Amino acid sequence: MQGYDELGKAFELMRAGELDAAVIVLEGLLARHPSHPLALARLAEVQVRRGRRAEASECLDRAEALGGTTALTARLRGDLDYRAQRFAEAAQSYQDADALGDGGTWSLVQLARCRLRLRDLVGARGAALKAVERRPKDAAGWVVLGDVAKREGRLADAEEMYSRAHEADPDDSFAYARLVEARVLGLAPEDRSREVEVLLKTTARGNTHLQGLLAKLARDQGQLDQATDNWAKALAAKGDRYSRKNYAFSLQRAGRLDEAAAVLRRCLADDPADVVVFRNYVHLQRKRGALGELRHTLEELLPSAGVRAGAFHGELRKLPLGGADGSLATGGGEPAATE
């Protein structure tokens, strides 16, 4: 196979989280062999992980035009649709990936998550059961089975499934956080946060999923500033987009709108195709009267908006040439970063 060594190197870089380096290797291979469907598919995979949906979609189109739909390209189509919250389309792609011979459990677990999002609990359970039958030592399938049981109100069964997930992979911090959540919900509300705090200081030190759980418990108790502080700690520890989005939303709930606008802008820059972030950012900036800032951000991010470019154009057409905050259309200024 042409480029076998480069493909292997790119895959190892991806596993190590060195995504920019993987892009360089794959683009170098494609510069010599532009009609290499597997290299295009792997480049799409890297771009999905980088949050570059438009680039990923373009690579997938080229890969499938050259080599047809494969288990890999179908799975990546599912990933793109899942991130865009098109769960019905994602479910179909994950089903296709499984039918085309995807031997892992990712497509099945993601199919189960799509079904859960679509409120198809029977379908979610079926896909998750197939995943645990295929690889019982993978925690993810057990976690989804727990989520299904929890949605159905079978809390004891949910805890059992989360326990099996933790037994399957004790190092899976997400599965452990799900198990802890199931257990602390059986405590009195005033005792729940204390139990999680103890774990974070001892056996679960550094588990950002538990930090998120602590934020959720604080929010449920109406402690909005405490919830915000917990998401800030999770973001500082991991720096991931999920924590950043939840930090932004917690700032909004706490009424800290200027800070929320700055963080939401960063989230939108991370992924301009994120519909939820886009809508929240536009709504917040209109509420603040920061139309100049809004125009500046939309114009700056428009080239990377991909399939969401129409939504960006639509909001820009609604804005006056000069923002209500007195700023010029091209110089509204970027909110100060809070991180």
pLDDT tens digit string along 38-63? 999 999 999 999 888 889 999 999 99
Tokens in use for 66?
Answer: 């050259």
In this prediction, residue 293 carries a pLDDT of 96
pLDDT at 246: 96
Cα separation, 231 vs 229, in Å, equals 6
pLDDT for the residue 70: 97
Confidence category of residue 331, pLDDT binned at 50, 70, 90: very low
DSSP code of residue 135: -
Q: What is the mean pLDDT of residues 118-141?
A: 97
Q: What is the pLDDT of residue 1?
A: 62
More confident residue, 130 or 189: 130
Query: CB burial class (10 A; 0-12, 13-18, 19+) of residue 295?
Result: buried
Burial class (CB in 10 A: 0-12, 13-18, 19+), 83: middle
Residue 234 has pLDDT above 60, yes or no: yes
| Tens of pLDDT, residues 63-107 | 999 999 999 999 999 999 998 889 999 999 999 999 999 999 999
Residue 112 is predicted with a pLDDT of: 98
pLDDT at 330: 37
CB atoms within 10 A of CB 7: 18
Q: Model confidence at 334, in pLDDT bands (50, 70, 90)?
A: very low
In the prediction, which pLDDT does 101 show?
96
Which domains, from first to last, does the chain contain? 1-68 (1.25.40.10), 82-169 (1.25.40.10), 187-250 (no CATH), 256-339 (no CATH)
How far is 312 from 1, CA to CA, in rounded Å? 42
pLDDT tier, 3 (very low <50, low <70, confident <90, very high otherwise): confident
Residue 322, pLDDT score: 59
323 dihedral zone (left: phi>0; alpha: psi -120 to 50; beta):
beta
Mean pLDDT of the chain: 92
CA distance 245 to 235: 9
Percent of the chain with pLDDT over 70: 94
Kindly list the distances between the CA atom of residue 264 and the CA atoms of 234, 256, 268, in Å, as whole numbers in the listed order: 16, 12, 6
54, 306 in Cβ contact below 8 A? yes
Yes or no: say if 100 and 74 are a contact pair by the CB < 8 Å rule.
Answer: yes
**At which residue do the structure tokens 């932004």 appear?**
248
| Statement: residue 335 has pLDDT above 70 | no
CA triple 106-79-253, angle to 5 deg? 105
Inter-residue contact 228 to 247 (CB < 8 Å): yes
Instruction: Give the DSSP letter of residue 210.
Output: H
| Residue 84, amino acid | A
User: Which burial class, exposed, middle or buried, applies to 270 when counting CB atoms under 10 A from its CB (0-12, 13-18, 19+)?
Assistant: middle
Which amino acid appears at position 284 of this protein?
A: L
Asked if pLDDT for residue 228 goes beyond 60, the answer is yes
Burial string for 99-129 (b: 16+ CB within 10 Å, else e) reads ebebeebbbbbbbbbbbbeeebeebbbbbbb
% of the chain residues with pLDDT over 90: 83
Average pLDDT over residues 205-226: 94
Token digits for 145?
Answer: 């089975």
Tokens of 331: 């110089």
- Predicted pLDDT of residue 236: 93
Q: What is the mean pLDDT of residues 157-177?
A: 96
Spatial contact of 63 and 47, defined as CB atoms under 8 Å apart: no
Q: Distance between CA 270 and CA 319 in Å, rounded?
A: 23
Question: What number is the average pLDDT over the span 326-337?
Answer: 38
